[in-house]
Structure 1
Amino acid sequence: MTDPVAPPAGRRLRPLILLCLIALAGGLAWYFLVRAPAAPPARVASPWTGPVPVRVVDARLENLSVEVKAIGTVTPLNNVVVRSRVDGQLQSVLFQEGERVKAGELLAEIDPAPYRVRLAQAEGQKQQNLAQLKNAENDLAVYRRLFEQDSIARQQLDTQAALVNQLRGTLMSDQAQVDDAKLQLDYTRIVAPIAGRLGLRRVDAGNLVTTGDAEGIVSITQTQPIGVQFTVPEVQLPAIREAHAAGRLLPVEAWDRNEQQMLAEGVLTTLDNQIDLATGTLRLKAQFDNRDDALFPNQFVNVRLRVRTLEDAVTIPVDAVQYGSQGTYVYMIAEGKAVLRPIRLGPSTGERAAVLEGLKAEDQVVLEGLDRLREGRAVTVVTTPPPSSPVLQPGGG
């Protein structure tokens, strides 16, 4: 029986080397993860540690118009549907759709033949009764002479006088029939009752028209001048009524939907006689010449009613005004730092507001850079902002 062969020496050393490597890796991991001190986190520097760049503007001394803003609807002063006043066949249409017409201008004609016949009949009847009246008047003159000669009885004279009066009444009725026939014949010529702009034609030549046709032939809308109706809250009513009662013509401006373009200028003409209980508003009407047709019927417009004008008022941009627990205020600059200045505001209009207390003309207030300002914060006044800088933007304090 033979002895087993012993393994080589290199194979016996491999497990020992592997254990040494594992121990070395564990020691390094323990040193770097547990023993080594953690590096301090990087500190992010604030971009606004220095003075805040701001833009300032001067308070101005100027006349400030106090305005009431509202939404209005353009309404024509007159809108007429032209209808026929007699029945008949529409012989001709003499207008173009959409054109302007003057009052009394001929628009259409209805076949006049039947009405000329009626006029001739009325005139013939009148002529016949006129001849009878003349004959009766001649007989009455004879009867009066005979009665004076005591040749006829009184009753015969009175009978003849009654016949004359009867024929005179008949003649008056005949004249009325003639006048009515002439009027009906005149109605075959359809004329414009008012001046204005025509709408779309609603009937064509050759059709039969009647007096009861609700659609009519065409509509006419008066656009020069034209009105605008709008409403104002009742809290603003006293100032408007006071100015209107004093006989002042309050200017009114009509602007487009985006309030980018003024369309027309007019004056306030009418105040309604009662406040709407549901909305607490009062309806008003203004009138505009509208010579360039900038205002169109039923168009929605933004209305600015100028109630009064503040003379020599101290004004600043509305964006410079800040609101807080201490009331309204602005930021001013003193010795390179922001200073909070309380103010009392008056009326505002557009982009400017009147300051009743707290500022005087030519005082400088901060307009841009307000979102980073606090009392005592260091500032630097700039005149031209960088093209792409988001720094100088109007903001709240």
Structure 2
Amino acid sequence: MVFLLAVAIIVILIVVHVLTGTKKKPVTPPQVVSTAAARLGDMPEVLDELGTVTPVATVNVLPQLSGYLTQVGYQEGQDVAKGDFLAQIDPRQYQIDKQQAQAQLAKDQASLAQARTDLARYTQLNQQKSIAEQTFADQQFTVKQDEAAVQADRAAIAQFDLDLAYCHITAPIAGRVGLRLVDPGNYVTQSTSPGIVTITQMKPTTVQFTVPQNSLDKVLQRFHGSDKLSVTAFNADNSRQLATGTLYALGNQMATSTGTVSLRANFANDDESLYPNEFVNVRLLVDTLKNAVLVPTPAVLTGAPGDYVYLVNADHSVSVHKVTLGPSDGKDTVIAVGLMAGQSVVTDGMDRLTDGAKIKVAGARPAQGAGAPASSSTAGMPGKGGRRAHGDASTAQSS
């Protein structure tokens, strides 16, 4: 009986201890983050597109008559001026044909002189009524026939002069010749393929690219204004600027398959950094936003709330803050709606943040400039310019 009483007392003590004992709640330490203050600054609005270097003129020089190629007067890769000698076709056959035409001209001129002399005599006899009227009329027709024959002979001689000029092939434009397409000794024919040589104008040159229809309105407004739109060309991996030019022409139709319109920019290309048919990255400066609210691009996240930032509160906590984005240059992003200059946002360490979480600033970084080359031209598109999705924000409320 004593044993059972002792057990009951022990059980009662344990129950009382469990019921009256205090639970210690675990304390979550503040999350160490980096922050930056939103600032006012200028942001260029640019369109990044893929373009192709398109020469102003590319000419495939074709022979205009047939014959053996006797001479080639250029070096492969040589720069030539308009009118420079390129190749020679054997002219002897055309010289002989010209001599025959000259002989025929002399013969027909003699016949014409005789016909005119006879016509003068027949005219006097006709006035005296000494010959038949039909004989006088026939002689007039003979003179006209001989005059036409002389004109035909002169035209034939002019044709052979042109053929002799065609035998001496010259550069139709200034530019750079390519690799030799035919060697001396070959028989070439009129418009034979692949031709004698290809000449490409190196400078100035153009770059052709396309822009989507959604961006066309702003381009048209600036293009038809007084300002010239600046176009910058970068190499294929966007690591080096090649040249700077200006937009000078727009296509007259929208491509229905892609919803884009073609544009062409002119480049002086004095250093020949743009090579014909080269693929380049094109950056078209459409406009510049003045005194826009800028934050570092890593501060902008995309998740269930949409585009948002973690706003730093006065009590060292953060809140999910929805924003409307503007253009980005990759380094900074414009906040069109949702922030004011001077407000601080989290730029690093937000992986485990939630709405209302406490933070500890590792060291607030000053806002960075927007001088880096642009890498994104589309305003307010999720996932651009370094923004990333954050799963913990899916249940957070915007403040």
> Which TM bucket (shorter chain)?
0.7 to 0.9
For 1:314 and 1:335, the matched residues in 2 are separated by 20
| Residue of 338, 353, 360 corresponding to 1:379 | 360
Q: Which residue does the alignment assign to 1:185?
A: 164
Name the counterpart of 1:3. Answer: none
* 2-structure distance, mates of 1:202, 1:254: 32
* Aligned counterparts of 2:223 and 2:41: Cα–Cα separation in 1: 28
Instruction: State the SS of the aligned residue for 2:238.
Output: coil
- The alignment partner of 1:171 has SS state of helix
Separation (CA, whole Å) in 2 of partners of 1:378 and 1:158: 119
Deviations 1:104-143 (A, max 9, x none): 2211111222211111211221122122212222332232
Match of 1:352 among 332, 341, 358: 332
Q: Distance in 1 between matches of 2:82 and 2:304?
A: 64
Aligned to 1:86: 65
Q: Which moved more, 1:52-61 or 1:193-202?
A: 52-61
Q: Tell me how far 1:381 sits from its aligned partner.
A: 4.5
Q: What is the rounded CA distance, in whole Å, between the counterparts of 1:206 and 1:181 in structure 2?
A: 23
Q: Which residue in the other structure is 2:350 paired with?
A: 370
- Paired AA for residue 51 in structure 2: G
* Pair member with larger Rg: 1
Q: Deviations over 1:154-176 (max 9, x none)?
A: 32222221111111111111111
Displacement after TM superposition at 1:394 (Å) = 9.2
User: Within 2, Cα distance between the matches of 1:91 and 1:51?
Assistant: 84
The answer to whether 1:337 aligns with 2:316 is: yes
Q: By how many angstroms is 1:145 displaced?
A: 2.9
Measured against aligned partners, the alpha-carbon deviations of 1:62-110 in whole angstroms (never above 9, x if no partner) come to: 2x22112222222323222111111112111111111122222211111
CA contact (8 A) 1:232 1:282 kept: yes
Alignment partner, residue 306 of structure 1: 285
Match of 1:4 in 2: none
Identity of aligned residues (%): 38
The 3-state SS of whatever aligns with 2:112 is helix
**Greater mean deviation of Cα atoms: 181-190 or 264-273:** 264-273
| Counterpart among 248, 254, 261 of residue 282 in structure 1 | 261
Contact 1:276 1:282 (8 Å CA) reproduced: yes
Gaps of 5+ in 1: 1-44, 385-392
Which whole-Å deviations, capped at 9, do the CAs of 1:175-199 have from their partners, x for residues lacking one? Answer: 1100100000000111112222211
Shift of 1:344: 2.2
Q: Which amino acid aligns with 2:359?
A: A
SS in 2 for 1:279: coil
Count, aligned residues: 343
Partner Cα separation in structure 2 for residue 382 and residue 172 of structure 1:
96
Q: Are 2:138 and 1:165 aligned?
A: no
Equivalence for 1:37? none
**Normalized against structure 1, the TM-score is what?**
0.77
| One-letter amino acid of the counterpart of residue 335, structure 2 | V
- Distance of 2:166 and 2:204 partners within structure 1: 28
In structure 1, what is the equivalent of residue 378 of structure 2?
A: none
Secondary structure (helix, strand or coil) at the match of 2:99 reads: helix
Instruction: Report what 1:202 is aligned to.
Output: 181
**What does 1:233-248 align with in structure 2 at a 5 Å threshold?**
233-246=212-225
C-alpha distance in 2 between matches for 1:342 and 1:115 = 83
Match of 1:121 among 100, 122, 131: 100
Q: 1:58: Cα distance to partner?
A: 4.6
Alignment of 1:1-397 (within 5 A): 49-50=29-30, 52-62=32-42, 64-246=43-225, 249-335=228-314, 337-340=316-319, 341-374=321-354, 375-382=356-363
SS at match of 2:93: helix
Q: 1:395 to 1:210 in 2, by over 3 A?
A: closer
Tell me the secondary structure at the aligned position of residue 158 of structure 2. helix
What TM-score do you get using the length of structure 2 for normalisation? 0.76
User: Is the contact made by 1:59 and 1:359 (CA closer than 8 Å) also made in structure 2?
Assistant: no
Q: Render the CA deviation track for 1:196-241: whole Å, top value 9, x for unaligned.
A: 2211101112222211421111111223232333333333233334
Matched residues in 1 for 2:324 and 2:252: separation? 35
Q: Unaligned 5+ residue runs, structure 2?
A: 1-25, 366-385, 391-399
CA contact under 8 A between 2:231 and 2:285: conserved in structure 1?
yes
- Matching residue's letter, 1:235: N
1:257 CA displacement: 1.8
